[in-house]
Amino acid sequence: MTNAVQQVVVHGGGVAAAMAALAIARAFGRLGTQVSWVDTGEAPAPHAALVAPPDIATFHRLLGLDDAALIGGAAATISMGQQFAGWSGGDSAFVHAYGDAGSPFASLPFVQHWTRARQAGLRVALEDFSLAAAAAKQGRTGAPRDAATRQAVKQGWNLDAAGYARLLRDLCDGAGVRWMPGTAVVPRPGGGRIEQIDLASGEPLRADLFIDADGALVAALDPDAAARRPGFCDRLIRGSAPAFDPVPLYSRVTAHAAGWLSLIPLADRTAVEFAYDSTLLSDADARGLLAAAAGRPLETGVPMPVGAAARLRPWVGNVVAVGRAAGDAPMLDGGELLLLQLAIAQLVLLWPIDGAAMPEADIYNEEMAGAWARVTDFTAQHFRLNARDGEPFWNAARAASVSTELAAKIDLFAARGMFAHFNHEAHVEDSWALVMAGHGVVPRSFDPQALLTDDEALMAEFQRQLRAVASDVHAMETHADALRRMRG
146 plus 239 within the same structural domain: no
pLDDT of residue 227: 67
Q: What is the reported pLDDT for 294?
A: 79
Q: pLDDT of 409-461, one tens digit each?
A: 999 999 999 998 999 999 999 999 999 999 999 999 999 999 999 999 999 99
> Which pLDDT band, with edges at 50, 70 and 90, does 170 fall under?
very high
pLDDT computed for residue 9 by the predictor: 97
CA torsion, ordered 429, 148, 485, 243, to nearest 10 deg: 60
Tell me, yes or no, whether 261 lies in a domain.
Answer: yes
Q: Residue 461: enclosing H or E segment and its boundaries?
A: helix 455-474
The verdict on 64 and 139 lying in the same domain is no
Please indicate, yes or no, if residue 368 is contained in any of the structural domains: no
223 and 325 in a common domain = yes
Average pLDDT over residues 90-97: 92
What is the CATH number for 186?
3.50.50.60
pLDDT digits (tens, 9 = 90+) for 139-162: 999 877 667 778 889 999 999 999
Question: Has residue 469 been placed in a domain?
Answer: yes
Domain count, the chain: 3
pLDDT at 52: 95
pLDDT band (50, 70, 90) for residue 1: low
Q: Give the model's pLDDT for residue 405.
A: 96
> Within this chain, do residues 298 and 420 fall inside the same structural domain, yes or no?
no
Q: What is the pLDDT of residue 201?
A: 84
Q: Is residue 35 part of a domain?
A: yes
Using 50, 70 and 90 to split pLDDT, how confident is the model at 15?
A: very high
**Is 60 exceeded by the pLDDT of residue 118?**
yes
Residue 2 inside a domain? The answer is no
Q: Does 168 share its domain with 36? A: yes
- Give whole-number Cα distances, 318 to 175, 207, 299, 446, in Å: 23, 9, 43, 50
| Cβ count within 10 A of residue 442 | 14
Residue type, 103: S
* Backbone phi and psi for residue 385, each to the nearest 5 degrees, phi listed first: -95, 0
Per-residue pLDDT reduced to its tens digit, 372-389: 999 999 999 999 999 999
**In-domain check, residue 113:** yes
Q: Is the pLDDT of residue 254 over 60?
A: yes
Same domain? 211 vs 242? no
Please indicate, yes or no, whether residues 73 and 127 belong to a single structural domain of this protein: no
Q: What is the pLDDT of residues 285-302, one digit of tens each?
A: 999 999 888 777 899 999
Mean pLDDT of the chain: 93
309 pLDDT more than 90: no
Domain that holds residue 439: 97-153+375-478
- Residue 230: the pLDDT is 66
If asked whether residues 127 and 24 sit together in one domain, one would say no
Residues 107 and 148 in one domain: yes
- Other beta carbons within 10 angstroms of residue 295's beta carbon come to 8
